[in-house]
Chain A
Amino acid sequence: MIENKESVFVRELSASLRKQGFHVRTEVSNMGQSADLVATRGRWVTIIEAKLGDWKRAIAQCRAHEHIADYICIALGSVSVSDRLRDTASELGYGVIHYNRSVKRFDWVLRPKLNRAVWRPQRKYWANMVRKQNYGN
């Protein structure tokens, strides 16, 4: 199968996160959606929606992750990060990661805030479900 640009982007982001000590799973289901990346370190769960351009769609997808993730981020592969995205993410407490093409590096534009809207029963149910899945990555 030919990989599209977004899946290559997700793969590179996964590698970068693993180097930072995260345990990374990709395409993890959550309440009828599929999260691009779930990065865990210790007991903390970070969900990342990766997009090459359409950050508004990423924001919409992140809403469901608020029930289960301690931190929520958007990773963007576009040339630049707009002020509007920065403001929206800041308001929602989401982090923003940008891929710097010139140096081939992922940079933090905005660090995420701890999400306090987690619904513990949903988180527990989701975590059990993820454990049962055979995530090859």
Chain B
Amino acid sequence: MAIEHWMMFGTFAEQRHFVYPDRTTYQGTILNGNMVAHAPDGLAAFLLEKTAGLSYIIDPMTHAFQHHPRFVSDSDGKPKSSIQALAEQYGSLLTDIVGKRPLVPRDLRDSVALNDLVKNCLAFQSEKLSQVMASRDAMKYLDNANVQLKPAALVAPYFYMTETSYRDWLPICVNAAQQARKLFPTSRLFTSVVVNQGLLLNDDALESVSTQLSGLDVDGYLLWIDNLDEQRAGSSVLNQVLMLSRALRKNKSRPVINLHGGYFSILAAGALGDEAFSGVTHGPEFGEFRSVIPVGGGIPIARYYLPQLHARVRYRDMVRILGATGWRESAAIFHSNVCDCLECKETINGNIQNFLEFGRGNVRGVRRSGGMVRIEYPTAEAKMHCLRHYLQRKRIEYQFAATASKEQLLENLQNGFKQLEEVVGLDGVSHLQLWQDVLNPVAHA
């Protein structure tokens, strides 16, 4: 059993990571529709020339239009150019309202309006990039058999549903998927299920969403739970996520790709979770959970992915953990206890003092209420070391979850808990115990 390893495309600066650790690591990439509308040439070049034919799915991002315009506007109050470009692909319904007011269910109850949106949305996904790719010079030099011009699946228009809004949006989502099937009867068709955690905890809402969406004539699903941080989530939410995904999977007969997932999702996609997902997507760095309504960043800090915790740990905390465990006594001790991936070996290069390379920074002044403070920002090199180590570990995690026995997978979680409980405290390791309880409830019954 293989677990599909997808990576979310964020920015063009991240292109090189889609062939790291190697070209075979990823099943494909998820592209945001607004980026496709805004920069089709760049994305076509990325798919053809940087990755030589990586599979892709375009997330149509139709939910972007249902939020208040300020969430999709720039500082001048005008719609972001990529959102405006996407609206133009989808037709007059959206170009008339983008930047002025949110799309509401009433706008789509008219079947003609919905039909237009579905037709334009799917045609955009089917043709936009494939046409640009087909016209590029690089096509002359590539083996056509290996090049995926068309997306791996088309995604019906979808909308974000909460426990208070699902009664209005669910019929629209269902109708959109049904229209999409009629208009594109032979295409591989997915729909997106994007819900908040409150909906998962409301039995009636979950039942409605699960029953109606799993009954659709579609070939698969993208699943996105708003801002679901697996390391902080409670067992109720995690159990309901699995329940929803298994209902959509229909006895594993259909793929469900978790759009933003970490190690819990990877485990759930393997034997330990009885393949609750067919695949899991993460970003090159910050994509293991994400808010549907975008929120701002904060000051970036270097984080090292600690394999035992399956979590990214601040560099300063990592130095403390290494000191408390004795794992920074030598390079050999570090590699045998923490990580022996290629990036760690090359960076540490036989001298544990080089672990510093994961935490180097440049100091810049930042204005705060009390005056200027100096904050250290990670250097580009430090960020790159952390990122490449993270991508190495992710590949290992997908392979381990797909091939190890249930006992080995549980033992790995238990070992992390035991090794680090007294170092980082119970709160720092309790997610490992919770994941065992959720994924292997029999053992704890």
Contacts and interface: CB of A to CB of B under 8 A. Distances in A.
Nearest to A129: B363
A7 B369 CA distance: 10
A4 B368 CA distance: 11
User: For this complex, into which size category does the number of interface residues on chain A fall?
Assistant: 20 to 34
Contacts of B371: 1, 3, 7, 27
A3 B370 contact: yes
Of the candidates B319, B360, B369, B375, the one having the most CB atoms from chain A within 10 angstroms of its own CB is B319
Given A1-B371, A6-B370, A133-B374, A32 B302 contact: yes
B356 interface: yes
Contacts of A121: 353, 355-356
A16 interface: no
Contacts of B363: 29, 129, 133
A84 interface: no
B320 A66 contact: yes
A88 interface: no
Interface residues of B, number: 26
B375 A32 contact: yes
B353 A28 contact: no
A91 B393 CA distance: 37
B323 A117 contact: yes
A32 B315 contact: yes
B372 A27 contact: yes
B299 A119 contact: no
B316 A29 contact: no
A119 B328 contact: yes
A57 interface: no
Majority secondary structure, A binding face:
mixed
A125 B355 CA distance: 12
Nearest to B371: A7
A28 B374 contact: yes
A30 interface: yes
Contacts of A104: none
Nearest to A125: B356
A7 B361 contact: no
B314 interface: yes
Contact of B374 (A1, A27, A64): A27
Interface string B295-338: 00001011000000000001110011001000010000000000
Contacts of A7: 370-371
Given A67-B319, A119-B323, A121-B353, A29 B375 contact: yes
Interface centre among A1, A6, A28, A34 (most CB of B within 10 A): A34
A122 interface: yes
Given A4-B369, A121-B356, A125-B356, A30 B376 contact: yes
Given A67-B323, A122-B356, A32 B361 contact: yes
Contacts of B183: none
B373 interface: yes
A29 B320 contact: no
B151 interface: no
B374 A34 contact: yes
A122 B319 contact: yes
B320 A63 contact: yes
B359 interface: yes
A27 B376 CA distance: 11
A33 interface: yes
A30 B301 CA distance: 11
B356 A64 contact: no
Interface string B52-75: 000000000000000000000000
A67 B301 CA distance: 17
A7 B328 CA distance: 37
Contacts of A4: 369-370
12 contacts: A3-B371, A4-B369, A7-B370, A7-B371, A29-B363, A31-B376, A32-B299, A32-B375, A67-B319, A67-B323, A119-B323, A125-B360
Interface of A: 1, 3-4, 6-7, 27-34, 63-64, 66-67, 117, 119, 121-122, 125, 129, 133
Given A63-B320, A125-B356, 9 more contacts: A32-B375, A33-B316, A64-B316, A117-B323, A121-B356, A122-B319, A122-B356, A122-B359, A129-B361
